[in-house]
Amino acid sequence: MYLPGGRWRLWEQFALRGPGFPADGVLRLAPAGLAEAADKFGPREQLAGERWDGFAAGFAEAAVETSRALQDIARTPAFREAVAWQNRPVLDSGIRPFLDWTPTAAGRTSMPRQREELVAHYWQRFCVKNDTIGFFGPVGWGRWDPGTEGLAVDPGRGLVAGTEVYFASWAIDALAATIGADPALRPWVAPRRVPFVRLDGDRVVVPGRPPQPVDPQAAAVLALCDGTRPARAIATALPDTDVPAVLADLVARRWVVHRLEVPAGARPERALRAWLEGVGDPAPRQRGLAALDVLELARARVRAAEGADAVVAALTALEGVFVALTETAAVREKAAGTAPCRSVVYADCRRSATARLGPAVRDALAPLAPLLASAGWLTARLAAEVMSRAREVYAGLAARGPVDLAAFWFACMPVLHGDARVAAARLQDEFQAHWAAIVAAPPGARRVRLTLDDVAGPVRERFGESGGGWTAAHYLSPDVMVAADSPEAAARGDVDLVLGELHLAANTLGASLFVHQHPDPGELLALTDRDHPGPRLMPLLPKEHRSRLSTRVRHALVRPVDHQVALVDFTAEPGREHTAMSADVAVTERDGELVVVLPDGAEFPAVDVFAHVLTTLAMDLFKILPEADRAPRVTVDRLVVARETWRLPAAGPAFATEKDEGRRFVRARHWREEHGLPRFVFVVSPTESRPFYVDFDSPVYVTVLAKAMRRLARKDPDGRITVTEMLPTPEQTWLTDDQGGTYTSELRLVAVDEA
C-alpha cells in the first residue's frame, strides 16, 4: 500500500498495540458531578464558610465512594494477576491491607490514601497506556484490506489468543555459567577468539596496542579457537601442546573467551539444551540437563498458573529453584546498566482481536508522506556527517597500512559518542527550524490547521528528496492512533488520526516481542525479503544494554542470507554462515566511499557497521516543534501531527502543596483553567520512570500529579513537567473485545522508502 507520490510503501501488516483492560475503567475514578461542584468556586474565592463546608462534605462522601471503587478494582482477579507479574510484593505490602480496610471519611488517613494512589497508578497503566507486555498489553495484528471502508475489528474470542512465558537472557546465562563451571564439561566448551583480536603470523594484533609476539604453540591454539571446536578437539589436533595451559594464558590475556555461552535469542534455553545434548560425556551431560529440566519445569508451572495467587506461588517457586541452581539473585536490582527485564521470566501474549484498515484510513494517512520525507532528510544528513568524520579516521589509519574493521571501529568511538551526538542535536534544531517555518503558528495559537498542499511543497523545498543514509534507515515506523466516536464511526471511516511517535531508521515490527507473537512469523520474513532482495550487513549487538536493548526488542527478522559481523560481542549461533569477526574484515575505499570487505569477499557500505549507533541517535529526533512553554496542536487534513503540549514549573502551583484533598482538587482545577489544559492529559516528569495519565475530574489522579510535582520541585526547584493532551481520549475508542469492551490502541506501521 503506497502513500501519495509513490515513494513510501506501507507494510501490508501492522501491529495493534493496546492495554488489556477497557479504557472506561479509569472513568470510574471521576465521581459524577464533583468537577462541576468544584468549578463553582472562583480562583480568588476563599475556600471556607458554609458553602465550602457543604462542598467538603460532598467531597468526603465522593472520596469514600472512590475508595470503594478502587477496592472493587483491586479485587478483580485480572488486576491482581497483572500486578503479580509487575511487582508481586505489592500484593502483600499494599493491595492486601487496602482490601482489608473499611473505607470511611475519618478512616482515610495517610496510609490508606497512599494505597489508593498505588491502585490508581497501576490502573491507569493497565487501562490507557499502549504498552506491550503480558496479557495486560497483548500484541494484536491487522492488515490493509481494500474491501473494508474504514476500520473493521474482529474481536475474536476472549482477550488473548495465545500466551508464552520466556526466560530472560541473563537468567539462562547465569545457569549456563553454573553448568559450565563443572570441570568435567570444560573440555567440551569451545573457546572463541575475541572478535577484535587478530592473529598475524607470530603476532597478535589488538586495536590501540602494539602487536604482541606469541610463541608457535600459542599461535596454533589461537588459530583453532573458532567457537565451534571444543577444547578437547583442539587438544587432539595439537597432541604436543599443553592446550589447557595455553588456553588459560590466552584467556588471561583477554584474547580468547573460554566459557559456556548461549547465543542471543528469545529461546536461550533451547540453545543451552542443544549444546548439552552434544556433550559426549554422559555424567556431566546429565547433570547439566537435569538442572535445565528443573528450571524449565518450574517455568511450565508459571505458564500454567491462573489467577494472582497461583501466579505468585509459581513465580516464587521458580525463583527459589533458580537461586538454588545458580546461587544468583532471582531479581536484578534496577541500575543504570541494567536492561529492562529484571525477572527470571516474562510473559508475552497475542491479542485475539484483529483489525482491517480500508481506503478511508489510507486517505487520511496521506499527510504522512511529507513527514516521512522530512525524516529521511534527518537520517541522510546524520549519516553524511558521521561518515565524513569516519573518512578522516580511515585516512589516518590507512596512511600506516591496511585497515581492519576492528581498528576502524575503535578509532571511530570518539566520533560515534561525541561528534555524532553533537551533530544529531544540531540537525534536530535545523529540522525544527524548517518545520516551524512550514507550520507558521501564530503567537499564542492553540490550533494550527493545514492542508496537505500547505505542507507538501514547502517540505520538498526545504528537505528535498534525500533519504536513507544506511540500510536500516530505509525503514520508518510511525505509531498512529485512531480517534473515533464509536466503533460504528470507525467502520464508516469517520475517524481522525493522531501521529504518536515516528521511529526513525528502524522496522519496529522486527523486534522479538512482535515477531514471536505473530501467528506466522514467516509472513514478516517474506515482507523483509521484498524490502531487501539481497543480503544485508548487520552488526552483532550485546544481548542487552541500557540503551534500549534487551531480548524482547532485539531485531528478530534476520535471514540466513544476511551477513553479521561481531564488532565487540559475539552473540550469534556458533558456526552460523555469513558471520565474521571485526578483526577479519577489511575496510577500504571505493569511488570515494568507505566499504567493508568480509572474508568471503562480500562487500557492504561501511556506514552499515554503525547502524545500531546511528539508529539509537536518530530514533527520537523526529519532533517537528521545538521545546517550548506551550506548543499548539498541529493538524494536516485529518492527521494530527503534533499534540498540544505545555511545559510547566513543578514548584509554585498552590494545589501541589495543599494538604487538604478538597482544596487541592479545586485549586488544581483553577490551575488547569489558568493554563487551558484539557481534562485528560499525559504527564512526563524527570523524577518519574514513565509518563502517567491524569484526569482533572478525578481527585485521586490530581493527587498523583501533585505528588509528582512535589518530588520534582524537591529535586530541582526549577524543574518542569511536560503535559500533553490525551488524544484520542478514553471516549474515542474503537478497538473492541467479544464482550463489548473498548480499548485505547495504536497502530504500529512500517513505511519503506523505495526511492
Nearest C-alpha neighbor of 554 from the set 564, 568, 533, 540: 540
Q: Which pLDDT score, from 0 to 100, does residue 620 have?
A: 85
Q: Which pLDDT score, from 0 to 100, does residue 37 have?
A: 97
Residue 16 pairs in a beta bridge with: 140, 747
Judged against a pLDDT cut of 90, whether residue 315 lies above it is answered with yes
Q: Kindly report the pTM of this predicted structure.
A: 0.94
Q: What's the whole-number mean pLDDT along residues 35-61?
A: 95
Q: Label residue 338 by pLDDT band (50, 70, 90).
A: very low
Q: Label residue 544 by pLDDT band (50, 70, 90).
A: confident
Q: Which pLDDT score, from 0 to 100, does residue 337 have?
A: 45
Taking only the tens place, the pLDDT of each residue in 378-424 is 999 999 999 999 999 999 999 999 999 999 999 999 999 999 999 99
Nearest C-alpha neighbor of 191 from the set 123, 244, 259: 259
Residue 642 pairs in a beta bridge with: 634
Taking only the tens place, the pLDDT of each residue in 696-730 is 999 999 999 999 999 999 999 999 999 999 999 99
Pull the grid cell for residue 348.
508475552
Judged against a pLDDT cut of 70, whether residue 742 lies above it is answered with yes
Cβ neighbors of 91 (< 8 A, separation 6 or more) are: 80, 83, 84, 308, 312
CA–CA distance, 98 with 75 (Å, rounded to integer): 10
Judged against a pLDDT cut of 70, whether residue 340 lies above it is answered with no
Q: Label residue 336 by pLDDT band (50, 70, 90).
A: very low
Q: Are 172 and 215 in contact, with CB atoms under 8 Å apart?
A: no
Q: Are 501 and 481 in contact, with CB atoms under 8 Å apart?
A: no
Q: Label residue 335 by pLDDT band (50, 70, 90).
A: low
CA–CA distance, 366 with 1 (Å, rounded to integer): 12
Q: Which pLDDT score, from 0 to 100, does residue 486 have?
A: 85
Judged against a pLDDT cut of 60, whether residue 55 lies above it is answered with yes
Taking only the tens place, the pLDDT of each residue in 619-678 is 889 999 999 999 999 999 999 999 999 999 999 999 999 999 999 999 999 999 999 999
Q: Which pLDDT score, from 0 to 100, does residue 694 have?
A: 98
Judged against a pLDDT cut of 50, whether residue 78 lies above it is answered with yes
* Span of 253-262, 458-467, 546-555, 581-590 with lowest mean pLDDT: 546-555
Judged against a pLDDT cut of 80, whether residue 545 lies above it is answered with no
Q: Are 642 and 624 in contact, with CB atoms under 8 Å apart?
A: yes
Cβ neighbors of 84 (< 8 A, separation 6 or more) are: 91, 308, 311, 312, 315
CA–CA distance, 654 with 671 (Å, rounded to integer): 8
Q: What's the whole-number mean pLDDT along residues 115-134?
A: 96
Q: Are 340 and 169 in contact, with CB atoms under 8 Å apart?
A: no
Q: Label residue 334 by pLDDT band (50, 70, 90).
A: low
Q: Which pLDDT score, from 0 to 100, does residue 341 have?
A: 63
Nearest C-alpha neighbor of 160 from the set 287, 297, 303: 303
CA–CA distance, 706 with 696 (Å, rounded to integer): 11
Pull the grid cell for residue 497.
488520526
Cβ neighbors of 459 (< 8 A, separation 6 or more) are: 370, 371, 373, 374, 438
Taking only the tens place, the pLDDT of each residue in 202-225 is 999 999 999 999 999 999 999 999
